[in-house]
Every structure is written in structure tokens, then in C-alpha cells.
Structure 1
């Protein structure tokens, strides 16, 4: 049997770095509680070093004793870790830039410095008995041999997991596999991919990482996150179940309401065509598709909408056919002759095109009055 994949949610940390997003404790509590009850494997809940309010908020989340591991994000700075220790979280993430671009042009540090501070911070966290996730920032632009050296030293130091970050979202699925295969082959630590979505490939990259042998992936609800966001929890979780057929603890039936909750809290509307959670993703208008669905639902169903608490819907638009319109009229007890139904269908198609949106029964039935 294939190993279970870990979904490590960072909505409350990386998600909060999205422009204009900021969570109160009450909002963090609601989101964290819902994610934990749905079976998320880990919650990255914030950055204690950001200030006293953040530290206190995380401490309160720890006090909820949620049925999942809570972790924090920290720079490779002892002071950051000391702040995290005060919260009582079980896990700490230690993030270190590893590309020469970041080392030379952001920190003005050397590769030797990376090894030194990694050892210092990991040793400090081990003394506190913490689960340690070593985050390698900008791993997508780092020298692979250097990544391998870091990974081997991390294993020696007793790190629990290594997170490889595609910080700029520049990887494609094939490069994910090729770039990180040496680590998978030579390091006996679970690997996690932290994929950003700048080029729209975060979900594909996360799935490729799992296919390649990664144990974990970072996700956020709705893909919330810095710039273009992160790999969306809903997309990754559904792909795990229905494409990879891999076991995961997360209950996808709670996904729709969870995404709606985060949408309301952040005041960010879910795009209509957003995979899994968009309003239109299970709505059919084309007569060709509807005919196929009537014959066999799997003709045009990639996965059952009921699994995420949704259902198939019919809407009327430019490509609607006579069968759907006749069925609607019959259900409403309306009798029109063939010419009238054809004229009504033309009006429906025209109105849908004018409104730039599909029509519901409530839009169509008033149009019937002109024929009666």
C-alpha cells in the first residue's frame, strides 16, 4: 500500500502574506479549527517573532489542543526560535535562503554561513524537543550539489523534514522531478514541496513532487498566499484522491464550506471557474455535454461533485439544446408547440450572450408569457 501523503497547510502564515489579508485571533481560530477537524496533517499558524500580538494569538491556538501538529515559521535566527518556544507549538520551521542569488544579493552571506546557522538553530530546537522542518528558500534556483550537502547535514543533525521552496513559482513539473531526484535518492528524510503559483503550475508541481517520492506538500485554502498564491488545498487534495489514488487524512467533503469560510473572512470572491470550488465548475450548458451526461455521467465527470459537497447543475446559454428547454417546460407544466419552443430557445441563447452569463429557470419562465 502506498504511504499516506501529508498535507501541510500554511493558510495562516503564507496565506496571511497575501496583499490585504490579515487574520484576527478569532478568525485564525475558526480556520484552524475547521482545518483540524477535516484532518489536515499540519498547520503552520504564523510567525511569533512578528510581534507580541502574533505570539499571543499563536499561544491561544496551541491552547485549543487541536488534533493536529501546529508549527511556526522562523528565520534561522535564535531569537525567532525563542519566540516560538514561548508559544508551546510542537513544530518549528527554520527557513534558510540557499540560492547564491539570495545569499549574495539579499543577505551578503556565504554557503558556509548557511551550514553554520543551520547547525546552531537545529541544535537549539532539538534541545527543546521540537519537530523540525528545515525550509530551504529559493531551492528552485539553488545549486543541487549544495542542496544535497545541506540535506545530508540536516539528516545528521536530526531534522525531521526538509521543505524545498519554489519561492518564485518558476519550476515546471519535469524540472521538479529532475532537480530534486538526487535528494530523494540520497537523503533519508521526508521531503516537502512548497510551491508558489506565479506561472499557474503550483498544483501540477505539487502532484509531480508526490509522484516523484515527496512525502508532503504545502497547501493553502483557495490557493491564498503571497503574490499569485500557493498550491490550493482543494485542488491538491482532490487530485490526490482521484488522480493519484493516494491515501490522505484530509476529508475533502468539508472543502467547499471551508473555502467559503476563508473567502468570507478575507473578502476575496472565489472566481466562478476556480477548480473544485468555483460556482460554475459543475454547471453544464452545452447540449453535447448534457447528452453525454444523460447517457453516462462519467462521459463528462472528472470526479463526483458530491465528494466535495457539490452537485451537477444545468444552466442555459448559447449552446443549450432543445431537449433541455423542453425538459424545463415540461417540469413546469408549460405546453408550447415546436415553433414556439424554437423561438424561445433562440431568445434564451441571445439573452445569455447579452448578459454574459448562463440563465436559470427563473430567467426563462417570464419569457414564456409572451407565448401564452
Structure 2
């Protein structure tokens, strides 16, 4: 049994990224790739949106995936009926709990919110569904009311509750304290749903996990409203390496292809420096770092690049040292002593500054050849 489970909402919250639309066939393929990765639950969409959305959710349900398939709903009976019609085995029932949302968005009251949530939860449970009750804007909700909301959800039959940091305003310490209070007071499984407005979505999700949350809501590449959600790939690697969970139960060899496919489908390029899946995250140029990585990659890498379908490269440029030059010339059977390497290093740095980039190995060899022609270096150096 996994200690933590992932609820992936790429097909729901991820598609709510401004300007992103997945084709139906793309959604089905993404769901299959998520299943191959080992995601535990897939939030496939919002059935009440209409026939097109229902059609693709039904196809996902019929794809014989190992993952649970969840439909997202407002705390409204007709929403849940639409989910039932799709054949999902689980539903998320979402309603705002912060006073600012209750007053300005719902034009309602706390008591009405509780009543609406209870009716929707009881209806879903009466139809044999697994239920996650979502407190939207939980991070800005009065804690006493939030605890009462979750206790009431549990009494109504909810299987778990979703804590939503809807506007991404929390920090990890505050997140830990709130989630710990929820678990201690309510004694129910908690799911984290964290947004990245302050750049702390993954950190807050992990803080929740440390506090006892068992479900972590994620999206591929961190897609989502505004600055996005906790990133699936970052959360998995954080579980493995930051929380030292050896085997997370997820197939990391499938992750790079999934992230690349979602990037293409969403027309959102993955930056080369993106944590976990960026193409250049195992590239070393700085002299001290490159020297360490050449001697033993563990000096500057906690993850093996092969584990993520990436590769390590030693680059030669403005910030390089002699170790990188010797390393990159060695495959060409060029072996220099320290004195001649230092001389070549000056040319390398000047050229890199002129070009405003690192040098290719071919350019490095060319500089070496030019220096020989100048009579400065010997081929026997």
C-alpha cells in the first residue's frame, strides 16, 4: 500500500489554465499515460459542462484503467447526476467556505453552505460513489468554521476532504499547522490541493503530507489557474528524495514522455531549467560544479539523470574550469597538461563571452587546433 496517493487533475484544473484546451483524443491519451505512471485517481473533468465533456469522460471510464476516475461537481444535485451518468466511481463535491467567497461569490451564508454540501454528499453516497468534499478557498477560511465544515462532511458520509489553497497564499509552516489541526480534530483523510501563486504549491503539498494528508492533488507540468498547481513530477520526486520514500510506487520512466506530451497538447513549453523534467537540469558549466560532477556526480546531483530519461552534460563556456576542458577533449584523444589547459581556457572564456553562449565540443576542438597552428600548443602537450 502506498503511504501517499496522487489525485491528478490535469484534465480538469489543468485544462482550466487560461488558453488551454485539450482535444478529446488527447484527454483519453493523457489519462492512459497517467495510469501507466501509476496515478491513483484521475479527475477527468466536469460532467455537467455538457455532452462533449461527458462523452470524453465516459470514454476514459471505459478505458479499463487501474486508476479511480473522478468527476468534479459543484454541491448541486444535477452536477452529481451528470457524473453518475458518466459512470465515474468517485466525485469531488466543491463549495466555497471562506467568508469572502460566501458573501461575494455565492451570495450565501455559512449555514446555507453547510446545508448544500450535506445534501449533495448524502445524494452522492446514496448512489454508491466515493466522495471527496472540497473546501474551496480553505486557506482563507475561519479555522473554526473549516473544522465544523469538515466534521459535517464526515457525518454526511464523505470519504475524504480536500483542503484547497485556492489562491496559493499559504507557506509550508502554516500549511502543516492547519492540516495537523484538521486531522487531529476531524480524523478523516485529507487531500491537498495547492496553487502556485507564491511559488510554493509543491512545498505546501509536501508540508501537508508531512502533517498527515494522504492524497496529494497535482497536475502535469504544474498546469492550472493563474500560476498553476502543484506539479506532479515535482511532488513525486519530493516524496522520493525529500521525504526519503524509496519506492513511491510510480513508474518514473513514464514521466518524461507524459510531461512532453502534455506540454505539446497544452501548447506550454517546458523551460530547460524546469525542476525534474527540464532538458538542461543535469548540465554543468561552472568550474567547481563541473569538476565535482566529473569526479563523482553525487557531489552536485541527488537524482540520476537516467532515472528521469535525461542526460548529464559538461559544458564549456565563460564559467568553466580546466577540468571541463580536459573532460570534453578526452573523447577526441586530446590530453593536455595543466599549463597548456590554462592557456586554452583563456581562449575558451573569451570566445564564450563573444558568442554569449557555451561552446560546442566541435568549437572547443577547433580552438585547440587554432592554438596549435599559432605555435603555442603542441599536439604532444
Q: Which residue does the alignment assign to 2:202? A: 203
Q: CA deviation at 1:285?
A: 1.0
Distance (Å, rounded) in 1 between the aligned partners of 2:362 and 2:9: 41
Distance (Å, rounded) in 2 between the aligned partners of 1:195 and 1:213: 15
Q: CA deviation at 1:334?
A: 4.1
Distance (Å, rounded) in 1 between the aligned partners of 2:268 and 2:355: 23
Alignment of 1:1-372 (within 5 A): 4-246=3-245, 248-334=248-334, 341-371=341-371, 372=373
Q: CA deviation at 1:91?
A: 0.7
Q: CA deviation at 1:331?
A: 1.9
SS in 1 for 2:45: coil
Distance 1:266 1:3, change over 3 A: closer
CA deviations on 1:251-291 (whole Å, 9 max, x unpaired) are 22221221111112222111121111112211111221122
Could you tell me whether the CA contact under 8 Å between 2:16 and 2:224 is conserved in 1? yes
Distance (Å, rounded) in 1 between the aligned partners of 2:287 and 2:25: 47
Point out the more displaced range, 48-57 or 89-98. 48-57
Could you tell me whether the CA contact under 8 Å between 1:285 and 1:314 is conserved in 2? yes
TM-score, normalization by structure 1 = 0.94
Distance (Å, rounded) in 2 between the aligned partners of 1:337 and 1:158: 74
Distance (Å, rounded) in 1 between the aligned partners of 2:345 and 2:241: 37
Higher relative contact order (CA 8 A, sep 6+): 1
Q: How many residues align?
A: 371
Q: CA deviation at 1:171?
A: 0.1
Could you tell me whether the CA contact under 8 Å between 2:179 and 2:213 is conserved in 1? no
Point out the more displaced range, 336-345 or 86-95. 336-345
Could you tell me whether the CA contact under 8 Å between 1:41 and 1:249 is conserved in 2? no
* Structure 2: 5+ residue stretches without partners: 374-381
Quote the RMSD (CA, aligned, Å).
Answer: 1.9
* Structure 1: 5+ residue stretches without partners: none
Could you tell me whether the CA contact under 8 Å between 2:290 and 2:323 is conserved in 1? no
Distance (Å, rounded) in 1 between the aligned partners of 2:338 and 2:160: 67
Q: CA deviation at 1:113?
A: 0.7
Distance 1:168 1:365, change over 3 A: same
Distance (Å, rounded) in 1 between the aligned partners of 2:199 and 2:104: 27
Point out the more displaced range, 114-123 or 282-291. 282-291
Q: CA deviation at 1:346?
A: 2.5
CA deviations on 1:104-137 (whole Å, 9 max, x unpaired) are 0111100001111111101111121111111110
Distance (Å, rounded) in 2 between the aligned partners of 1:254 and 1:44: 19
